[in-house]
Amino acid sequence: MIIQIRTKDDLSELLRHGNSPSWVISESRINFIDSVEIYQFDGRKVLKGTFNKNNSYRNADGRLVVAFSNGTIEDCDFKWIGQNPIKYKSVNATEKNTNSMNNSNYVVGFYAGKINDYENVEECCFAGEKPDFIAMGIVIKNNSVNEFIGRVITNWCDKYPTDSLLYSGKSTIDMGGIAEDDNGVNLWETVQLQYPHLLPGIDELYNYLEIDADDEHYNLSAEIPDELRLFNIYEGSFLDFSNIKKGNGESLGVQFYL
């Protein structure tokens, strides 16, 4: 797996030091990282190298200093989509994702919702639309009840958008793949054991989002393909996002059928 980082740091200095400090990266991902790609903020240069696990370490804040070897700097023209400075890319991601999803009987899907004047939810599918909330994940049957598992983003319905992991009917604030419960346990690590391709699948769906000029909210950057829409994959399922928290602590309060 390739870890991709977007930074305002001088790539020449990072190459000289052999690392890039410091990033929110869960422990469960480290063993899967093979390569590092560090992109200049404007996307015109990239530093590529081999991930050096032995020299990587966590600072006092728990963030990972990403070390690498055999680094080189290249010119490029890369458009970074989304506001998260960390992305993950699987080698032959599409092939691996499709095979694993078929074997595991789940498909990672995308839903962008707009809350209309009648408090009903409408789906957004086209480039340029501004969804009030975004859901990326899977729907499984749990005790004869369909359950959504994945990330929900409060977006244009919220002044300060918030990411949450919805798992086992509970909502937990999600900080770039780290969603700690009241006991300090990262629930994403539990989810990854059950659904190892869920989080990488979610990361790939950010290709359909672009950050707004306000640097806070997402807009759709491309039309959502039918095969990736939760509405088509899990049609008829009931989604309960009523307890998802906004940035101000209020509840999203949304329930609807696909």
In a 10 Å sphere around its CB, with 0-12 CB exposed, 13-18 middle and 19+ buried, how is residue 114 labelled?
middle
Asked whether residue 145 falls in the same domain as residue 225, the answer is: yes
Q: Fill in the DSSP letter of residue 243.
A: T
Planar angle of CA 158, 110, 186, nearest 5 degrees: 70
Residue 125 reports pLDDT greater than 50: yes
Asked whether residue 22 falls in the same domain as residue 120, the answer is: no
Asked whether residue 46 falls in the same domain as residue 99, the answer is: no
- Domain end residue (candidates: 80, 110, 131): 80
Asked whether residue 161 falls in the same domain as residue 237, the answer is: yes
What mean pLDDT do residues 145-162 have?
92
Asked whether residue 74 falls in the same domain as residue 195, the answer is: no
Is 17 strand, coil or helix? helix
For the ranges 1-15, 28-42, 92-106, 133-147, which has the lowest average pLDDT? 92-106
Q: Does residue 87 lie within any of the structural domains?
A: no
Q: Does residue 252 lie within any of the structural domains?
A: yes
Closest CA to 100 of 200, 249, 224, 185: 200
Asked whether residue 41 falls in the same domain as residue 131, the answer is: no
Q: Does residue 88 lie within any of the structural domains?
A: no
> How many C-beta atoms surround the C-beta of residue 45 within 10 A?
17
- Domain end residue (candidates: 80, 115, 138): 80
Q: What is the CATH number of the domain that holds 42?
A: 2.40.450
Asked whether residue 15 falls in the same domain as residue 134, the answer is: no
Query: For 48, left (φ over 0), alpha (ψ -120 to 50), or beta?
Result: beta
Mean pLDDT of the chain: 87
Cα dihedral value 252, 232, 208, 111, nearest 10:
0
pLDDT digits 0-9 by tens, 174-229 = 987 888 888 888 899 999 999 998 998 998 899 899 988 888 899 999 999 888 99
Q: Fill in the DSSP letter of residue 190.
A: H
Asked whether residue 76 falls in the same domain as residue 100, the answer is: no
Asked whether residue 125 falls in the same domain as residue 171, the answer is: yes
Q: Does residue 188 lie within any of the structural domains?
A: yes
Distance CA 135, CA 133 (A): 7
pLDDT digits 0-9 by tens, 26-79 = 776 787 889 999 999 999 999 999 999 999 999 988 889 999 999 999 999 988
What pLDDT score was predicted for residue 178? 84
Asked whether residue 138 falls in the same domain as residue 249, the answer is: yes
- Domain end residue (candidates: 14, 45, 80): 80
Strands 35-40 and 57-58: unpaired
Asked whether residue 125 falls in the same domain as residue 197, the answer is: yes
Asked whether residue 124 falls in the same domain as residue 6, the answer is: no
Planar angle of CA 25, 26, 28, nearest 5 degrees: 135
The domain tally of the chain equals 2
Is-contact 96 90, C-beta < 8 A? Answer: yes
Distance CA 171, CA 45 (A): 38
Q: Does residue 117 lie within any of the structural domains?
A: yes
Distance CA 140, CA 195 (A): 11
Q: Does residue 86 lie within any of the structural domains?
A: no
> How many C-beta atoms surround the C-beta of residue 220 within 10 A?
20
Q: Does residue 206 lie within any of the structural domains?
A: yes
Q: Does residue 85 lie within any of the structural domains?
A: no
What pLDDT score was predicted for residue 39? 96
Distance CA 144, CA 44 (A): 51
What pLDDT score was predicted for residue 86? 83
For the ranges 23-32, 65-74, 151-160, 227-236, which has the lowest average pLDDT? 23-32
Closest CA to 108 of 29, 188, 200: 200
Q: Which long-range contacts (CB under 8 A, 24 or more apart) does 98-104 make?
A: 100/196, 100/197, 101/197, 101/201, 104/195, 104/197
Domain that residue 230 falls in: 93-257
Q: How many CA atoms lie within 13 A of 194 on its CB side?
A: 11
What pLDDT score was predicted for residue 91? 55
- The one-letter code for the residue type at 154 is T
